[in-house]
Structure 1
Amino acid sequence: MPVSDLSPRDKILNVAGELFHRRGYGAVTIEQVIQASRVSSATFHRFFTSKSELGVAWLERLNRRMASVHGSFMEKLGAREKRLRKYFLTMGEWLETNGYRSCQFANTAASIDESNEDIVALVDQYKRAQHKFFVDLVETIVGPKDARKIGTAVFLLFSGAMTEAQNLKAKWPLEDALQCAEELCSLHSSTRAAD
């Protein structure tokens, strides 16, 4: 949909999301969002009474999008031995395309304090959903018995690798984390087959 066809609220959310992603939530002011959105201050404040309210709306929308991405991924898993690779490599391409700006939830959490409870809660909600996604994904590879333990390890490998990929502006942390994650799943599958 062309930007001109968006409602003022959606236009503000799109522009704010882009600014928050590129510069970081903490570095962007309401005035910058208003200016970049090309809306009046009155129009902005008709939809959002504060930056925090805008941040909540942005993260709620992002949370829905990521739930959809994860749901679609789980519906089209492909070959068992390629599932982790497919996800890690897709995210690596996304990371590179986006200038190595990593997880928007983690970046936002790093720029706020605990008093911003609604945003803290949304970050927590997303990270719990992402953890569950990895547990569910790993279960399709290793089975249910140890899926939680191994899925948690893969989640932590992925999260750490995304952070370091951003810090280093490089994909190798994701590539190395993928190798470790595949080895964890392979070792477990080998052990399970021997039982």
Structure 2
Amino acid sequence: MSVRERLLASADELFYREGINNVGIDRVLEHAGVAKASLYSTFGSKDELVRAYLEGRQQSRRVRIEERIARHKTPRDQLLAIFDAMAETLARPGFRGCAFVMASAELPGGRGAQEVVAAYRAWVRELLLRLCKEAGARQPRLLAQQLGLLYDGSLVAGQLDGDPAVVATARQTAALLLDAAVAPARRAA
């Protein structure tokens, strides 16, 4: 592994497991087995290492979600597949919660980290909106917002309660919302 890869792997493991603010650069360097000069020549600062860590998390989550979506043909099934991908994430050993929620809480003024968090959230919102439109929702923005709340809520509930089954409830609720949003309007008698 390159120095960059070793630093990122160490940051990913330590920042996620122990928290960004709890892990100093010296711990990352020791864990990665690299010299301090390597960190600064590769990333320039801890802030940039944090940004790269979150970008890596964002990319891997996007890939997992996109792979799950690709297994399905209909927008309805694709929307529900987002919750299936989340269920897999919550069921993984060592799941501590959403890295983006944790980073946002730890680094409220961390500009680089907040930019990555904002980009990730924008991607999720755009994905939900696109699929809601493709599904034929009468109010796609409203449905996308509702599904987004279910998505965020189940991630946080899964973290706080330590119960990955919460996503099944969120998925069922998403299916109900989706079916109600795309059902033909009932005519008044």
TM-score range, shorter chain: 0.7 to 0.9
| Secondary structure at 1:154 match in 2 | helix
Aligned: 1:162 with 2:159: no
| CA displacement at 1:138 relative to structure 2 | 2.7
| CA displacement at 1:129 relative to structure 2 | 1.1
The partner residue of 1:182 within 158, 175, 179 is 175
| CA displacement at 1:58 relative to structure 2 | 1.7
| TM-score calculated relative to the size of structure 2 | 0.86
Aligned: 1:126 with 2:124: no
1:26 is matched with which residue? Answer: 21
Distance (whole Å) between structure 2 residues aligned to residue 66 and residue 89 of structure 1? 12
Distance (whole Å) between structure 1 residues aligned to residue 62 and residue 88 of structure 2? 19
Percent of residue pairs identical: 24
Please, which runs of 5 or more residues in structure 1 have no aligned partner? 1-5
Q: What does the per-residue CA deviation read over 1:59-109, in whole Å, with 9 as the maximum and x for residues that have no partner?
A: 233333344444444444335553344321231122121433222111110
Pairwise mapping of residues 80-95 of structure 1 onto structure 2 (< 5 A)? 81-95=76-90
Q: What does the per-residue CA deviation read over 1:24-50, in whole Å, with 9 as the maximum and x for residues that have no partner?
A: 222221111111111122222221332
- 2:150–2:174 CA contact under 8 A, matched in 1: yes
| Secondary structure at 1:27 match in 2 | coil
Aligned: 1:102 with 2:85: no
Equivalent pairs, count: 187
The partner residue of 2:44 within 33, 41, 49 is 49
Distance (whole Å) between structure 1 residues aligned to residue 67 and residue 81 of structure 2? 13
Distance (whole Å) between structure 2 residues aligned to residue 36 and residue 22 of structure 1? 13
Distance (whole Å) between structure 1 residues aligned to residue 63 and residue 95 of structure 2? 22
Distance (whole Å) between structure 1 residues aligned to residue 163 and residue 68 of structure 2? 24
Distance (whole Å) between structure 2 residues aligned to residue 154 and residue 172 of structure 1? 17
1:148 is matched with which residue? Answer: 141
Distance (whole Å) between structure 1 residues aligned to residue 54 and residue 76 of structure 2? 33
Q: Name the structure with the higher helix share.
A: 1
Distance (whole Å) between structure 1 residues aligned to residue 39 and residue 94 of structure 2? 28
Between 1:79-88 and 1:174-183, the stretch displaced more is 79-88
| Secondary structure at 2:34 match in 1 | coil
- Structure 1 residues 146 and 20 mapped into 2: Cα distance closer, same or farther (>3 Å)? same
Please, which runs of 5 or more residues in structure 2 have no aligned partner? none
- Structure 1 residues 134 and 81 mapped into 2: Cα distance closer, same or farther (>3 Å)? closer
| TM-score calculated relative to the size of structure 1 | 0.84
| CA displacement at 1:171 relative to structure 2 | 1.7
| CA displacement at 1:117 relative to structure 2 | 1.4
